Amino acid sequence: MRIWLQNKIVPERLAKVSVLDRGFLYGDGVYEAVRVYEGRIFRAEHHWKRLDGSLGSIHMRIPWSHSHLTAACLATARANGLSEALVRVTLSRGQGEVGYDPRSAKRPTLTVIASPIRKDLPRLWRSGVKIAVVNIRRNPMRSLSPAIKHTNALNGILAKIEALKTGAFEGVFLNLEGFVAEGTISNIFMVKRGVVKTPSLDCGILEGVTRRSVLELARKDRVRVVESRIPLKELLAADEVFLTSTTMEVMPVARIVPGRASPRTPGPVTRLLQKSLRELIAKELRLRGPI
């Protein structure tokens, strides 16, 4: 593997970061993950604007422009021989003195890692996945806001471990009030009597780029959309459930733990939004053919 470090691509064995880097010591940093299709990034500016918001929330500034980040992502994918890739951009505050005071960190650290796309995604889009509602709750917004895509990921990691113990593909958080929030790396949607519902931002979630795209498409397809608080019992009674993320696109849910199997996987609304999203990606990126 070849990795972008600061301003150049290096072999993985040379991609070294100091043990005094605040990202390593404290998870003091942010990241974005973008999807490359045929050497192009889907809605790159949406990702970089969200990155700007994350940086502002942790009072961190970087010297790299949006165009530089886009070029770094595409160069890293090419260096690894990938025209289709998931690319993670990680920015830490950089090397500094030990302690919470961040002022000694003068130079942020930038890494870009390109990974192949999972080969089983087409099968999972057809069959659906199992998800587990975990006991650990989503960080409350007034403590560590989920709206910041930060590198301090223990909340998600602990939830993922809990989900994996049930054999689930993804773990789903409730917030402290007991309402459905989001997955560890995804947003969650449900369909009831043809109406699409998803947790509102004030439930304490990250506004996913794919989530926003799907909401736009649902409205364009004349599907009624509601962003609101969703009790768990309402999710468990849904006609259809699906996840969205940069990696998964629109992923049907076949079973929820605790709960039951979905009666229709994927259901008609899920299939419609899967198709609409793929058509949007192909159109915006001017891809050579259908994806």
Evaluated on CA atoms 50, 56, 59, 63, the torsion sign reads: positive
Q: Band of the pLDDT at 30, cuts 50, 70, 90?
A: very high
190: enclosing H helix or E strand: strand 187-192
Q: What is the pLDDT of residues 65-74, one digit of tens each?
A: 999 999 999 9
pLDDT digits (tens, 9 = 90+) for 143-201: 999 999 999 999 999 999 999 999 999 999 999 999 999 999 999 999 999 999 999 99
- Do 55 and 65 meet the contact criterion of CB atoms below 8 Å apart? no
pLDDT tens-digit series, residues 34-51: 999 999 999 999 999 999
Q: Ramachandran region of residue 193, left (φ > 0), alpha (ψ -120 to 50) or beta?
A: left
> In the predicted model, is pLDDT for residue 263 greater than 90?
no
Task: Please report which residue ranges of the chain form alpha helices under DSSP H.
Answer: 22-26, 44-57, 66-79, 121-127, 154-164, 209-220, 232-236, 268-285
pLDDT exceeds 90 at position 259: no
* Contact criterion met (CB below 8 Å) for 15 and 139: no
- The rounded percent of the chain whose pLDDT value lies above 90 is 96
Domains and CATH numbers, the chain: 2-117 (3.30.470.10), 122-285 (3.20.10.10)
Tell me what pLDDT residue 290 has.
Answer: 65
Q: Are 72 and 79 in contact (CB under 8 A)?
A: no
Q: Cα(30)–Cα(99) distance, rounded to whole angstroms?
A: 19
**Measuring CA to CA, which residue among 44, 147, 37, 33 is closest to residue 89?**
33
Look at residue 265 in the predicted model and tell me its pLDDT.
82
| Residues 6+ positions from 131 with CB-CB distance below 8 Å | 163, 168, 169, 170, 171, 172, 183, 188, 241, 243, 253, 255, 256, 257
